[in-house]
Amino acid sequence: MTGPDHPGLLPAGLGGDPGDDGPLQPRSVRDWIVDTLCFLFAAAAGSVPFFVNSLDDSFPESPAFNLLLGMLACGAVWFRRRWPVAIALLLILLSVLYPTVAGASFVAMFTVAVHRKIGVALALTLLSIGSSLLEFRINPIDPETPTTYWTAVGFASALTVLAVGYGVAIRARRQLVMSLAERTRRAETEQELRVDQAKLRERERIAREMHDVLAHRLSLLSMHAGALEFRPDAPAEEIAKAAGVIRASAHQSLVDLREVIYVLRDPESIGEPQRPQITLADLPDLVRESEQAGMDVAFVMDVQHVEDAPAGLGRNAYRIVQEGLTNARKHAPQVTVHVQVSGAKAEGLVIEMRNALQGTRPRQAGGAVPGAGAGLAGLTERATLAGGRLEHGRTTAGEFRLWAWLPWPS
């Protein structure tokens, strides 16, 4: 295998993506400086035995050949990252016979420790120490010098261990940097995902709100328009009043629709609502609006301390009653709708709506108001998310019943 175990272990690759296992990164300025220093060290370390041994003609080959081989070994230093093990193995073997290669072999061992696993580095370290034992047997120490055989072997082995140890320390540090970079990248990705999910949940909440609001207002429009169509002889005052309700409902529907389209087009705009929010105290006005559209609503509200109701509780209760009235207008427009709201702190809020299934639906222009059935499903989800529960369906008494309980913390 060529190159380091991980390209990110190169100084030039530490700033890149930790998960990128592509080709080697181009040399950075730092890489060039390090390579130049390694080259100079290899040349200096190899020149010592050359000048010392050339004085007494103790080289196993001609000095010129040893010098050429040492220069080639120093040149191999520039390719040490691409083939670290192969170059280190070759230089270790050559250093047994040619002392001018020894400096380059130390650099190669350092490179193996940086770019290969510790097991490979230890194996080559043992081989390098073994080569030192042979080197000083083949090229004996001058007996006139104070240096002994074991001193020379120990010094060479110490240099090898020092080079490998320093390389292992650098590898550990770079791996730590890569690990921290990966953890940072993962944390940023997870944070972005959480933000996107929060925005999606907020947009879904807005979609549910808009469904409830628009369905309510459009059903009012349909009822008033139908009344105008089938009562062309109604008094002018009633026609003007109905037309005013239609205009107000249409205008408010456009405002609501414009708001949701703006939010859906620009997710960054999601935030706190700009308009005053509905509360539990607005329920009588909601019922009154439906009665003005011609519905027969029997409304009873027995709630203690309405003004203390949390904003979320009031909004959810309002939407449940609103959707219940909308469904009644769609499916049973001529029957009485019974609405009862009761509750208190620590007990919760109970909403019950009932209307008879029997009734003669007036013929309306364009047919009945369509419904996809998504409203009740949205109400069930709304109640569940609020920590409550909602039930709806036919009763044995031949009525449609909508019942909900919402928590009201003390």
Q: Strand order in 399-406's β-sheet?
A: 296-303, 336-344, 348-356, 399-406, 389-394
State residue 268's pLDDT score.
57
Least trusted range by pLDDT, from 88-92, 139-143, 325-329, 358-362:
358-362
User: Rounded to two decimals, what is the model's pTM?
Assistant: 0.47
pLDDT in tens, 26-84: 667 877 887 788 888 877 777 766 655 544 555 555 667 777 777 888 888 888 888 88
State residue 330's pLDDT score.
82
Cα(70)–Cα(163) distance, rounded to whole angstroms? 19
State residue 274's pLDDT score.
52
How much is the average pLDDT of 255-274?
Answer: 60
How much is the average pLDDT of 318-325?
Answer: 90
* Distances, alpha carbon 207 to alpha carbons 145, 257, 375, 378, 385, in Å: 92, 10, 11, 10, 15
CB-side exposure of 146: number of CA atoms within 13 Å? Answer: 0
Of residues 165 and 16, the one with the higher pLDDT is 165
Least trusted range by pLDDT, from 5-14, 144-153, 384-393:
5-14
State residue 15's pLDDT score.
43
Give the range with max mean pLDDT: 156-165, 194-203, 212-221. 156-165
CA angle in degrees (0–180, nearest 5) for 224-229-230? 100
Of residues 208 and 58, the one with the higher pLDDT is 208
Domains, in order of start, for the chain: 7-191 (no CATH), 278-410 (3.30.565.10)
How much is the average pLDDT of 360-380?
Answer: 56
Residue with tokens 């997870």: 190
Q: Three-state SS across the chain? A: CCCCCCHHHCHHHCCCCCCCCCCCCCCCHHHHHHHHHHHHHHHHHHHHHHHHHHHHCCCCCCHHHHHHHHHHHHHHHHHCCCCHHHHHHHHHHHHHHCHHHHHHHHHHHHHHHHHCCHHHHHHHHHHHHHHHHHHHHHCCCCCCCCCCHHHHHHHHHHHHHHHHHHHHHHHHHHHHHHHHHHHHHHHHHHHHHHHHHHHHHHHHHHHHHHHHHHHHHHHHHHHHHHHHHHCCCCCHHHHHHHHHHHHHHHHHHHHHHHHHHHHHHCHHHCCCCCCCCCCHHHHHHHHHHHHHCCCEEEEEEEECCHHHCCHHHHHHHHHHHHHHHHHHHHHCCCCEEEEEEEEECCCEEEEEEEEECCCCCCCCCCCCCCCCCHHHHHHHHHHHHCCCEEEEEECCCCEEEEEEEECCCC
Over 70: is that where the pLDDT of 9 sits?
no
Cα(102)–Cα(135) distance, rounded to whole angstroms? 10
